[in-house]
Chain A
Amino acid sequence: MQDSVKPNGITPSQTVGPFFKYGLTPNGEYEWNDAFTNSTLTPDVTGERLRIEGKVFDGDGVAIPDCMLEIWQADAQGRFADPQDKRALPNASFRGFARCGTDKDGNYSFDTIKPGVVPDPDGKPQAPHLLVAVFARGMLRHLYTRIYFSDDAGLASDPVLALVPADRRATLIARREAAKPVYRLDLRVQGDEETVFFDV
């Protein structure tokens, strides 16, 4: 009978709090194994391998040492490892999800591949991007943002970036470091350079 009752609304969010590390991102420091790491890489994954790194800052410009970031992205062909993406490639072990806790200085990093192009609801191409969920003590609900790539030719025509005031778009674009497959983007929860967060 339980299953036939229509719920009256969703379960509200609560903060991840300051003490999630041993459960969600133990990283060898606690007696618990990691369900996820900060890498999406698998032996069979194709595409350009890269690292994305940066820091997360609070409203005082102080680095947040107890933040958790999660990323979700398509593979290099722009397909998601989810059967709901009817175009999915069934045999690749790439999953496209990773999780990282910031360190004591607020640093995060992800090892991944550059995703391919994913269409928007009208079939228009979106520039390659990752979705990011940001969790921390003090955040009663996680925040959603995106990470784009500074050297991608599709940025100018991306339909989601087009929704963002031009002077704030840089907060979503990771800058490629010279001659290295490393991109850098800091996240700022408040301030003049406050990161763009989406209402999704």
Chain B
Amino acid sequence: MTFIYPVDSNKAHPLPLSPDYKSSIKRAPHKPLIPMRHTLSELTGPVYGHETVREGDNDLTLQHKGEPLGERIIVHGHVFDEDGRGVPNSLVEIWQANACGRYVHVRDQHPAPLDPNFTGAGRTQSDAAGYYRFVTIKPGAYPWGNHHNAWRPAHIHLSVFGHSFVTRLVTQMYFPGDPLFAFDPIFNSVPDEKARMRMVSSFDLDNTQPEWALCYRFDIVLRGKNATPMENT
């Protein structure tokens, strides 16, 4: 199948400069982006080998001697294209804070405890239908220095590849009903409310495992449409 990647779809993304998010002020380009047609360079993308994802890399609760503290959760869903087709064999990488809202990163000095049994990094590859699944711990909210009393809503960072280099996506998955949404300039950098809500996972009771873990569903929609649709032609 041949895919096309209409640039219009990018309107769902945040604008580069979002002044309420202070770090964007010195890190957003001032000059307009230069439009160009996609060449084979843009229309192709990396394919991974078996060494990229190891057995167990999608379970962040089993990487150390003991189990991490916090609320064990399942995060699963599909990687889709814009037509709703599953994107197979896409690499999905995640990283996150621990249950207390602390990252293992050396630069995170938030006075909350590290968990010796939790690093917070994982990866997997979507299957033939685009399905992926992680087991992890629900991350905590944490304070940051953007403005007075600033707190990030709990989130999991995701990095996804898809069919081509222009489908590359780095985003954050949020949890439903978080009271911090209204105050977070990163979440609100996405101007369209419907688009913003596509970053919020849904609680999935059907796939919650009794006596073991709550489940959240998060479908990821990447750019890409069939170049020669069968319908409406």
Contacts and interface: CB of A to CB of B under 8 A. Distances in A.
A59 B27 CA distance: 6
A12 B34 contact: no
Interface stretch (B66-74, B175-183, B195-203, B208-216): B195-203
A143 B39 contact: no
A92 interface: no
A200 B223 CA distance: 11
Classify the secondary structure of B's interface with A: loop
A199 B41 contact: no
Contacts of A12: 12-14, 171, 190, 195-196, 198-199
A15 interface: yes
- A interface, how many residues as a size bin? 35 or more
Contacts, number: 263
Classify the secondary structure of A's interface with B: loop
A200 B42 contact: yes
Interface in A66-114: 66, 70, 72-74, 80-85, 95-97
Interface in B50-71: 52-54, 63-64
A45 B82 CA distance: 35
Contacts of A194: 29-31
Which 3 A-B residue pairs are closest in the complex by CB-CB distance? A23-B95, A138-B27, A138-B23
Interface of A: 2-24, 26, 30-33, 35-36, 58-60, 62, 64, 66, 70, 72-74, 80-85, 95-97, 118-121, 126, 129, 131, 133, 135-144, 160, 163-164, 168, 189-191, 194-200
